Amino acid sequence: MTAVATPTRTRDEELLALYSNPDTCPADRLKPVPLIEEQAFVAWQQDIPREYLRVSPEELDQRIRAARAYLGKRLVILGHHYQRDEVIQYADFTGDSFKLARHAAEQKEAEYVLFCGVHFMAESADILTRPEVRVILPNMAAGCSMADMADPDDVYAAWDEIHEVLAGSGSKVIPITYMNSAASLKAFTGEHDGLVCTSSNAPKSFDYAFERGDKIFFFPDQHLGRNTGYAKGIPLDQMVLWNWRLPHGGLTPDQIRKAKVILWAGHCSTHQRFSVEQIEKARRDYPGINVIVHPECRWEVVQAADDSGSTEKIVRVVTEAPAGTAWAVGTEINLVNRLAHENPDKTIFCLDPVVCPCSTMYRIHPAYVAWVLEGLVAGHVINEVRVDDETRKWSLVALERMLALP
């Protein structure tokens, strides 16, 4: 039964009650609105000053542009493809996590890097930039559910259990962590002869690992690992799933010994939504349509699609496609909508009819951008992301191995 607001209920109380429903999807709320009207705001970080809650999109835009102009070249803004348009418009550089990692590493003059993405991306930027550069995440609640699925202590325990089984076998395991992971896990891979990868260079990271070992321990995204391994010719039965909730990952010693790739049981909640049924419907509705999906989708979805690839690849393939072609895209809705807007000569739509945006990336609202930038203008660094020296040291090793891949 729908609750009815009483005359004594304030507008704030009504909005907070509406947006506290975790099942509510903000797909129909992608238009710019004041922060207090933002879908699910109640579940986000609440320490932003109240003065920012009701500022109109127009005023926020003016204030952000004024702060940017004042800060000049001291500031560089990085924007991930999944950001909403009203945030991505301020980015000096846009891209996927791999491309933005490179841009972060190339900054030679900036004092501040504002990373409009999620927490693990800001950590990587802090690791790759000069120590004196201050990296800022507009909203510290912008995390990643996939990254959270790989608790460092669980990963370390799994590593030990795997090596207990392999003791005396002569097998060498190389760890690979997806960019979507905590800095401590990046450091772990760096310290154990492994590296970081993104969806852009995952195949090259597998090459690197198999040149140095005979098994890969891949975390946290099982689907990227499985799709990459399969594309490299590894049979599905030689890629086993480690469930950290179970002793020895739910695997027998024989399964561990025979495996070429040990996959962590993690996934992306956004890409998990895409299905073979959606692809089949798109083909029925649009005969001859091209289907391209992200490799974070499940293996059967990738197999049913015409092509798969990172967000950078999706952007390139769709943008370079001939006019008049039709594309069903299996990735985050903000990017799909942007592609449709920038390519009006093509039919482009999202495979998922519910089209939920990435819920954590969506937490970067212009109000947070205005707040942290106006803080810089006033001489205050708000929401700085800083990685400790030891973690930075080994994470940098793993990230530099990634950046050195051909």
CATH architecture of 271-350: 3-Layer(aba) Sandwich (3.40)
Complete DSSP assignment for 145-183: HHHHTS-HHHHHHHHHHHHHHHTTS---EEEEEESSS-H
Q: What is the mean pLDDT of the chain?
A: 88
pLDDT given for residue 81 in this prediction: 82
pLDDT-based confidence at residue 40 (cuts at 50, 70, 90): low
Q: What is the mean pLDDT of residues 88-105?
A: 85
Residues 294 and 271 sit within 8 Å (Cβ to Cβ): yes
Residue 349's contacts (CB-CB under 8 Å, 6 or more residues apart) are 327, 328, 329, 336, 340
Taking only the tens place, the pLDDT of each residue in 290-308 is 999 999 999 999 999 999 9
d(CA 396, CA 256): 30
> Is the pLDDT at 388 greater than 60, yes or no?
yes
Distance from C-alpha of 69 to C-alpha of 67, rounded to nearest angstrom: 5
Report whether pLDDT(98) > 90. Answer: no
pTM for the structure as a whole = 0.83
- Asked if CATH classification 3.40.50.10800 holds for the domain at 147-269, the reply, yes or no, is yes
Asked if 244 and 264 touch (Cβ cutoff 8 Å), the reply is yes
pLDDT over 70 for what percent of the chain?
89
Rounded CA gap, 117 and 97, in Å?
9
* Reported confidence tier of residue 6, pLDDT bands at 50, 70, 90: very low
Question: Using CA atoms, how far apart are residues 15 and 245, in angstroms rounded to an integer?
Answer: 37
User: Are the beta carbons of 133 and 107 closer than 8 angstroms?
Assistant: yes
Residue 294 burial (10 A CB sphere; 0-12, 13-18, 19+): buried
At 142, the amino acid letter reads A
So where are the chain's domains? 28-141+360-387, 147-269, 271-350
| Superfamily of domain covering 28-141+360-387 | NadA-like (3.40.50.10800)
Q: If you average pLDDT over residues 337-356, what whole number do you get? A: 89
User: 155-212 pLDDT, tens per residue?
Assistant: 999 999 999 999 999 999 999 999 989 999 999 999 999 999 999 899 999 999 999 9
Q: How far, in Å, CA of 323 to CA of 338, rounded?
A: 17
Banded model confidence at residue 27, pLDDT cuts 50, 70, 90: very low
Q: What is the average pLDDT across 224-238?
A: 98
Residue 92 predicted with pLDDT over 60 = yes
pLDDT of res. 208: 98
Token pair of 400, please?
């530099």
Average the pLDDT over 1-11 and give the result: 34
Q: How far apart are the first and last CA of the chain?
A: 58
